[in-house]
Amino acid sequence: MKTRATTPFAFTPEVEAATAPIYEKLKTKVSPLEWQLQAPLIFEINRLKKDMNAVILAHNYMTPDIFHGVGDYVGDSLGLAREAARCDAQIIVQGGVHFMAETSKILAPEKTVLIPDLRAGCSLASSITGADVRLIKQRYPGVPVVTYVNTTADVKAETDICCTSANAVQVVEWAAKEWGTDRVILIPDQFLAKNVARQTDIKIIAWAGACEVHERFDADDIAEVRAAYPGAVVLAHPECPPDVIAASDFTGSTTAMGDFVTKSGAKQVVLITECSMSDNVTADAPGVEFLRPCNLCPHMKRITLQGIYDSLVKHQYEVTVDPAIIPRAALAVQRMIDMPPTTTPARYDMVKARHHVDVEMIS
């Protein structure tokens, strides 16, 4: 009689027992059959991480198997950057897109940073280059440059301070005060720039970049969902156009939206953002019904469990940043990280009231 070879990917009783607490979180999203395929990979990845002194930083847009199964730190861009700087693992596997991995490398150049798929880009990061920023600075001398963290290391190196969706208003106001100006360049997301401009008296100079996921939403999406579900609470990411933000009940970073859902007591929620957000928040918000629409980010979806496993086993793909630009890029990111947590209440409701405020577009 032939005996079946035991592969490291078998759904053994040991794997089943070790991964049972994870399945508890995923069971509304993953069928028992799918779980028999996912659980052994999760088990192996978690074992490899310990052996290799590696951590996985998983963005809120990772699929639930990654987010709940293997992520050591999960969160928004700001949270992941903070963690890259302070974690003491030797290897960081970025569960996210390339600019996030570069940010980790900038903040922790002595660590090995791996990304499971080099094609995991971002439409905002590819909308602007370091050379573009140099020209912008010539055109607007003395005006501070704030760049969204969704940019390449080259762009960060030309920047005075970075921001994320969690702190953009605070960073813009800080930069204006430090430089003693009433104008700030905020690039490359034109919609984030317009949404910030409606929450501050600082004049904003913007670039015509956009997130390919969030720019596709419009206010009609919200009107339709409100007509069908009048009690639903609508949350939108600040990369959405201003009319979408104005029609929503709350806007904030991916982590801020998740926190709002778990604390709000809302029963029906619409997350105007990437689809995995609601799948991941479900585990912490039992009883909340998440309604569509949502859009998938094709770049984030390049990161898979199998890719993470291969990344650890084959030590691929190592993310490098030119050592000559690291100090300047690190200064811009570190300035942002060092800002105190914001104490001013969110001003997103001003986006509704100040629809007349616009930005100066760099042409």
Interaction site with ligand SF4 (CB under 6 A): 97, 122-124, 150, 211-213, 239, 274, 297, 299-300
- Sheet with strand 203-206: strands edge to edge: 161-163, 145-148, 183-187, 203-206, 360-361
- Residue number with CB closer to ligand SF4 (276 or 282): 276
**Shortest distance, position 126 Cβ to ligand 13P, whole Å:** 13
CA distance 63 to 237: 18
- Residue number with CB closer to ligand 13P (165 or 190): 165
CA distance 41 to 305: 7
Verify binding: residue 77, ligand 13P, rule CB under 6 A.
yes
**Shortest distance, position 168 Cβ to ligand 13P, whole Å:** 10
**Shortest distance, position 100 Cβ to ligand SF4, whole Å:** 8
Listed residue (239, 217, 242, 204) closest to 124, CA to CA:
239
- Which of ligand 13P, ligand SF4, none is residue 299 near (CB under 5 to 8 Å by kind)? ligand SF4
For the beta carbon of residue 181, count every other beta carbon within 10 angstroms: 15
Choice from 19, 151, 165, 170 touching ligand 13P (CB under 6 A): 165
**Shortest distance, position 76 Cβ to ligand 13P, whole Å:** 3
CA distance 20 to 33: 14
Listed residue (127, 103, 129) closest to 115, CA to CA:
103
Verify binding: residue 211, ligand 13P, rule CB under 6 A.
yes
Verify binding: residue 150, ligand 13P, rule CB under 6 A.
yes
* 118 Cα distance to chain centroid: 17
Tally of CA atoms within 13 A in the half-sphere of 23 that contains its CB: 17
Binders of ligand 13P among 235-254, rule CB under 6 A?
237, 239, 253-254
Q: Which residues bind ligand 13P (CB under 6 A)?
A: 60, 76-77, 150, 164-165, 211, 237, 239, 253-254
